[in-house]
Amino acid sequence: MSGLRRYDYMLFLPALMLAVIGLVIVYSASATLAREKLGGEYFFLVRHAVYFGAGIVACLVFAHVPYSMLGKLSPLIVFVTLVALALVFVPHVGQTRGGATRWIGVGPFTFQPSEMAKVALVVYLARYASRERDLTLFTEGYVKPGIVAGLLILPILAQPDFGTTVILSTTFLLVLYCAGTRAIQPLALFAAAVPIAGFLIFHSDYRRRRLLAFMNPWSDVSHDGFQVIQSMLSFHGGGVLGRGLGEGRQKLFFLPEAHSDFVLAVVGEELGWIGVAVVFGCFALLISRGYQVAMRQGDPFGRLLAFGITTLLGLQAAINGAVVLGLLPTKGLTLPFVSYGGTSLMVTLGMVGILMNVSAHTDLESAPDRERKGTALAMASGAFMKPGMGGIS
């Protein structure tokens, strides 16, 4: 039974279905581009399939390696991530695309350290907050962990990658709040971050133009508003049932980044709103199950680890969907599991493996915790947070 429990199918199957949908849609969205620009229509599909296989391996490995080892290796994980983030800015090592320097070239493949930073941040925060400390104190709750978080986030902001910066900063606040910090503290930090974000937006030409294009994309149809308009046309053309798999038109050099950041628009055009509903239905199953795993986990580290990973995946999927639908300004964020992007696919599947491992050890870890509480109520309920902690219960 313990072997079966390790494979939490309510986590694995939605993630696998999203990744398979991604394989199909990436090929459909990129075949023409690859044939015309790179000499073969299978260029992106083959590379994506390699990363898909590596991601499945990573998922199964992390499903078997005890998640407690991640806590013990947290300092090493953070250090390696910081080194990788620094290498991005080394000439002839880091690669620049579309004005952003986010990748490290490894032979014919590339690696994006900011994806690794997501795991490093969550593992570090879960380890830090699960130790006995008074998180209601601002110094303990935010200043100390904020130093390490800043070391991970600031290089990503400098790449520049504003979207990932927002996701990591939001996850930082939410994980620490659910670990037991006072509610007023993350609210105050969020309020303080608003003018900083405003400064970063209005003192950056491309961010300012993206914001203006979001407010009125039709004011600059041929430049800044072009991408979101083409995305809207994709959804409009697909309707409820879609044009049919492979029959999309906007991917034919109209919609930029059709196979990566805006892959959901291709889903909407070819598979219709029904296809979009299936994609977000899978996300809903995965995220709800991730939070269930966190709530049932008695070990504080495992609880916060599951909560942080689930929050990261949910935030990124929600923001990408909002951007593609024109509800948020354009950002360089992929749709987890579905978009073309090797590092993103491997890391997200690896995250699912970690969630599966936490799920497999739920009873094993929660039993001693419940015994210490020594009440029938604790044995029946399994609280989400430790006694005295704020946040979700």
- The residue that leads in pLDDT, 199 or 180, is 180
* Average predicted confidence (pLDDT) for the chain: 84
Task: For residue 393, tell me if it sits in a domain.
Answer: no
What is this structure's pTM? 0.85
Task: For residue 388, tell me if it sits in a domain.
Answer: no
Q: Is the pLDDT of residue 371 over 70?
A: no
Q: What pLDDT does residue 390 have?
A: 40
Q: What pLDDT does residue 328 have?
A: 86
Task: For residue 390, tell me if it sits in a domain.
Answer: no
Distance of alpha carbon 249 from alpha carbon 269, whole angstroms: 8
Q: What pLDDT does residue 365 have?
A: 43
Q: Is the pLDDT of residue 182 over 90?
A: no
Task: For residue 392, tell me if it sits in a domain.
Answer: no
Q: What pLDDT does residue 187 have?
A: 80
Identify the band that residue 39 occupies on the pLDDT scale cut at 50, 70 and 90: confident
Identify the band that residue 350 occupies on the pLDDT scale cut at 50, 70 and 90: very high
Q: What pLDDT does residue 25 have?
A: 94
Distance of alpha carbon 283 from alpha carbon 182, whole angstroms: 30
Task: For residue 162, tell me if it sits in a domain.
Answer: yes
**Cis before 75? omega within 30:** no
Tens-place pLDDT, residues 65-95: 899 999 999 999 999 999 999 999 888 888 8
Residue 68, classified by CB atoms within 10 Å of its CB into exposed (0-12), middle (13-18) or buried (19+), is middle
Tens-place pLDDT, residues 124-148: 999 999 987 788 888 888 889 999 9
Number of domains in the chain: 1
Task: For residue 391, tell me if it sits in a domain.
Answer: no
Q: Domain span at residue 337? A: 2-381
Q: Is the pLDDT of residue 21 over 70?
A: yes
Joined tokens for residue 173: 């606040």
Tens-place pLDDT, residues 269-311: 999 999 999 999 999 999 999 999 999 998 999 999 999 999 9
Identify the band that residue 6 occupies on the pLDDT scale cut at 50, 70 and 90: low
Identify the band that residue 363 occupies on the pLDDT scale cut at 50, 70 and 90: low
- The residue that leads in pLDDT, 64 or 3, is 64
Identify the band that residue 5 occupies on the pLDDT scale cut at 50, 70 and 90: low
The 10 Å CB-count burial string (b at 16+, else e) for 312-347 is bbbbbbbbbbebbbbebbbbbbbbbbbbbbbbbbbb
Lowest mean pLDDT among 276-280, 311-315, 383-387: 383-387
